[in-house]
Amino acid sequence: MDFGPLIESCTPLKMFQLGASTEGFLLHNIKSKGFIQYLYIFGVFVDKKPTIYFCAEKQLENNNIFIGVFDDKGHRNYGVDNQCSDSMSFLIKALEYVCENCSINREQIKEIPAKQ
């Protein structure tokens, strides 16, 4: 994948096993390198390689939250979705998107407990 969100740092909030070699990470506390700020990012990795970033994006000039997706086709903006300011609302939408676009069965998804 040639494209992805421009970030300096982030903190994993939740981790998921999405399939045999597929993992998902819900990220927050994201420090951006560019003019687009990210409230949350759900990254999907197959064999440890990024394949999709589902993002709650916020531009500096307004308070709207946009859904953006990075994948092997580049970046697409799916429009305003201010409900995604909440991490659980964002996570539900991210998992729905990933299931639909990666042929993942919802029953396959298992949250990985955080390491102590």
**What pTM was computed for the model?**
0.93
In three-state secondary structure terms, 100 is helix
Cα separation of 86 and 91, whole Å?
Answer: 9
CA angle 94, 52, 17 (to 5 degrees): 65
Instruction: Report whether 46 contacts 22 (CB < 8 A).
Output: yes
Q: What is the pLDDT of residues 53-103, one digit of tens each?
A: 999 999 777 889 999 999 999 999 999 999 999 999 999 999 999 999 988
Instruction: Report whether 54 contacts 94 (CB < 8 A).
Output: yes
- Residue from 87, 82, 53, 54 nearest 66 by CA: 82
Report pLDDT for 114.
64
